[in-house]
Amino acid sequence: MAKSNKTAITPTRDQDYAEWYQQVIRGAEMAESSPVRGCMVIRPWGYALWENVQKAMDKRFKETGHENAYFPLLIPLRFIEKEAAHVEGFAKEMAVVTHHRLEMQDGKLTPAGPLEEPMVIRPTSETIIGEAFSGWIRSYRDLPLKINQWANVMRWEMRPRLWLRTSEFLWQEGHTAHADENEAREEVLTMLEVYREIVEEHMAIPVIPGAKSEGERFPGAVDTFTIEAMMQDGKALQSGTSHYLGQNFSTAANIRFQNEEGDWEFCHTTSWGSSTRLIGGLIMTHADDDGLRLPPRIAPDHVVIVPIIREDSQHDTVMAYAEDVAAKLRAQSFDDAPVKVRVDTRKIQSQEKRWDWVRKGVPIILEVGPRDIEEGKAAFSRRDQIREKKQFLTIAEIAGEIEELLWGIQSTLFEEAKAWRAARTREDITDLKAFEDHFNALKGNTFNADGGFVKAWWCESSESEASLKELGVSVRCIPLDQPEGEGKCVLTGAPAHRMAIFAKSY
RNA sequence: CGGGGCGUGGCGCAGCCUGGUAGCGCAUCUGCUUUGGGAGCAGAGGGUCGCAGGUUCGAAUCCUGCCGCCCCGACCA
């Protein structure tokens, strides 16, 4: 068997980035599109990733004092109408339920029994949770109220993409109510930091935490904060948001409390969300031309053992050896839990197994065959160095180093992504001409090094933000981490107090 | 919703211009030989050619309408 330069995914990123993205998803069996426009079927491998993200987040939500609850999928139309900006922001993307029955007419099932009041399928739950909060909160002693819900939501998208933008998606939405603005604002930043931590430290996706500009705020929010990630094609991905809603929603839903003086006040509320979009971000951050690459902390399996069996007579001994190796590795721990090991017992060719796991992105693949048993060895390869030569290591060596190896892969993926982002972030663009030239040089759907972020001083005027539209660029965020001093706005030349990240985005 | 492209076995495609009853590669199944960097041979199964009309003796192929997918915009997490 000659060494092959064939990539496991066709086309490569360089040939057709958008098509590559879809083939990675197909190749790793993560998801597929469904008969329902814009909706996806999440397959076990993709769902396992989401579950691992969920697990990590849920733990942090609870550690930061939140409780899970569940609210209805259907929201009465009049709830949505309560908050003006919210109405405007979501009206165009809502699925509406208008009937409660089907009847056979001319051989076809036809909606019947019109609802007196139509319902919308939740695009987010501010309004219906607000309704509940207004009933739960009476006194300052009831505050803060900190609730999270894991749910599905629906937004009728014009242009869906698997994971990144589907009409129905899974997410968590946190909703909290506080007695005063400071406490609410602190909550908003605390949860933004939780997002940063999970996304960077578990998913190994580097992000920039920052404030959203006026034009990019959540409908109805006073302030929106975001973590922005850069995909391999240089586009930005909003990967989690946290909103200070002021008293907009509490006024609309009548969420009031009596303070210590006995006066009635409206609560200050927050909401924050992150979704299955993160899995799309994971793909576009770490996957390569051989498929997915998973950071060990969220990988469904850390190690897959592929038995190499030459003859039937060797089957039992090799399998016994494989199980023995698995047991030795499971006795080790990584990230405060036993190392997750799978022995691939499928009755297919060993090479096919190997490439299957390469495409699925498992961090470590071990091949064990008859030759290894005597020496107590295995052929070791790591996904982030999959084109390197396999090493033959003893099980003792592998077991002894497995924890360190997995952390090494975790940090390698993170460092590679940071380097990629750094190489595609321009900080030397200081005037409009250079700014326009930079973004005009980009040609549509290309995978190249020309895109990426421009970090520059910005005056924050809404006129200048609106002017970005024709370039196809937006203000991704105003980073929390700001340099000293002031500068001149890259767009207008006016004095600017803060720097912003500009980019094309998903 | 505008502009462009595309819908043919699970995946990737050819055939369409010039109508004659569907083919290739991979995958799947069976058998034998194989297996440590993407195995070989032999055989087999699987498609109402996106849907609905129309033209025609005959439609994957021509015409009309619709649906869906992808890319670029607009909109958005």
The CATH number given to whatever domain includes residue A469 is 3.30.110.30
- Of A356, A381, A413, the domain-final residue: A413
Q: What pLDDT score was predicted for residue A1? A: 33
Asked whether A266 and A233 are in contact (CB, 8 A), the reply is: no
Strand runs labelled E in A358-411: 364-368, 377-382, 391-394
Distances (CA, A) of A144 to A139, A175, A259, A453: 10, 11, 13, 38
* A248 in a structural domain: yes
* A7 in a structural domain: no
Which bases of chain B are contacted by protein, using any atom under 7 A from a CB?
A: 1, 11, 28, 34-39, 67-77
Of the candidate ranges A94-98, A322-326, A336-340, A447-451, the one whose mean pLDDT is the lowest:
A447-451
* A369 in a structural domain: yes
User: A189 with A49, same domain?
Assistant: yes
User: A144 with A202, same domain?
Assistant: yes
| Chain Cα centroid distance, residue A254 | 33
Q: What is the CATH number of the domain that holds A51?
A: 3.30.930.10
Q: What is the CATH number of the domain that holds A330?
A: 3.40.50.800
User: A64 with A122, same domain?
Assistant: yes
Residue A348 buriedness (CB in 10 A; 0-12 / 13-18 / 19+): exposed
CA of A24 to C1' of B45 (A): 29
> Which residue is nearest to the C1' sugar atom of B10, using CA?
A26
What is the DSSP pairing of strand A498-503 with strand A474-479? antiparallel
| Chain Cα centroid distance, residue A480 | 20
Instruction: Tell me which residue range forms the domain holding A26.
Output: 17-286
The confidence band for A374, taking pLDDT boundaries of 50, 70 and 90, is confident
CA of A393 to C1' of B26 (A): 34
Q: What pLDDT score was predicted for residue A3? A: 40
Listed residue (A27, A50, A14) closest to A282, CA to CA: A50
Q: What pLDDT score was predicted for residue A43? A: 93
Q: What is the mean pLDDT of residues A470-479?
A: 92
The closest nt to A372, taking CA to C1', is B36
Average pLDDT, chain A: 92
- Of A236, A255, A286, the domain-final residue: A286
The closest nt to A314, taking CA to C1', is B35
* A483 in a structural domain: yes
Strand runs labelled E in A157-222: 168-178, 207-211
The confidence band for A275, taking pLDDT boundaries of 50, 70 and 90, is very high
Euclidean distance between CA atoms A18 and A491, whole angstroms: 30
Number of domains in chain A: 3
Asked whether A306 and A353 are in contact (CB, 8 A), the reply is: yes
CA of A35 to C1' of B51 (A): 14
User: A306 with A249, same domain?
Assistant: no
What is the DSSP pairing of strand A333-334 with strand A337-338? antiparallel
* A384 in a structural domain: yes
Percent share of chain A, pLDDT over 90: 75
Asked whether A454 and A426 are in contact (CB, 8 A), the reply is: yes
| Chain Cα centroid distance, residue A213 | 21
User: A328 with A246, same domain?
Assistant: no
Q: What pLDDT score was predicted for residue A2? A: 32
The closest nt to A216, taking CA to C1', is B76
A108, pLDDT greater than 80:
no
Sign of CA dihedral A342, A346, A349, A353: negative
CA of A109 to C1' of B55 (A): 34
Percent share of chain A, pLDDT over 70: 97
Which of the residue ranges A24-33, A155-164, A409-418 has the most confident prediction, judged by mean pLDDT?
A409-418
Q: What is the mean pLDDT of residues A319-330?
A: 95
Euclidean distance between CA atoms A151 and A157, whole angstroms: 18
Q: What pLDDT score was predicted for residue A163? A: 94
Contacts of A37 (CB under 8 A, 6+ apart): A160, A167
Contacts of A54 (CB under 8 A, 6+ apart): A150, A172
Q: What pLDDT score was predicted for residue A314? A: 84
The per-residue pLDDT for range A117-158, each reduced to its tens digit, is 999 999 999 999 999 999 999 999 999 999 999 999 999 888
CA of A35 to C1' of B57 (A): 38
> Which residue is nearest to the C1' sugar atom of B71, using CA?
A445
The closest nt to A350, taking CA to C1', is B35
- Of A364, A381, A413, the domain-final residue: A413
Euclidean distance between CA atoms A31 and A29, whole angstroms: 6
Q: What pLDDT score was predicted for residue A450? A: 57
Asked whether A333 and A403 are in contact (CB, 8 A), the reply is: yes
The closest nt to A387, taking CA to C1', is B37
Q: What pLDDT score was predicted for residue A445? A: 52
CA of A24 to C1' of B46 (A): 26
User: A102 with A139, same domain?
Assistant: yes
Residue A254 phi, psi dihedral angles, 5° rounding = 60, 55
Structure tokens at A433: 């001409």
CA of A170 to C1' of B27 (A): 32
* A3 in a structural domain: no
User: A146 with A268, same domain?
Assistant: yes
User: A124 with A184, same domain?
Assistant: yes
User: A231 with A268, same domain?
Assistant: yes
Q: What pLDDT score was predicted for residue A449? A: 54
A69, pLDDT greater than 60:
yes
* A430 in a structural domain: yes
CA of A104 to C1' of B61 (A): 39
- Residue by residue, DSSP assigns A223-247 as EEEEEEEE-TTS-EEEEEEEEE-TT
Q: Select the more confidently predicted residue: A90 or A263.
A: A263
Q: Select the more confidently predicted residue: A33 or A479.
A: A479
* A10 in a structural domain: no
SS3 A370: helix
User: A326 with A244, same domain?
Assistant: no
What is the DSSP pairing of strand A453-458 with strand A425-426? parallel
User: A71 with A192, same domain?
Assistant: yes
A424, pLDDT greater than 60:
yes
Q: What is the mean pLDDT of residues A346-370?
A: 92
User: A100 with A229, same domain?
Assistant: yes
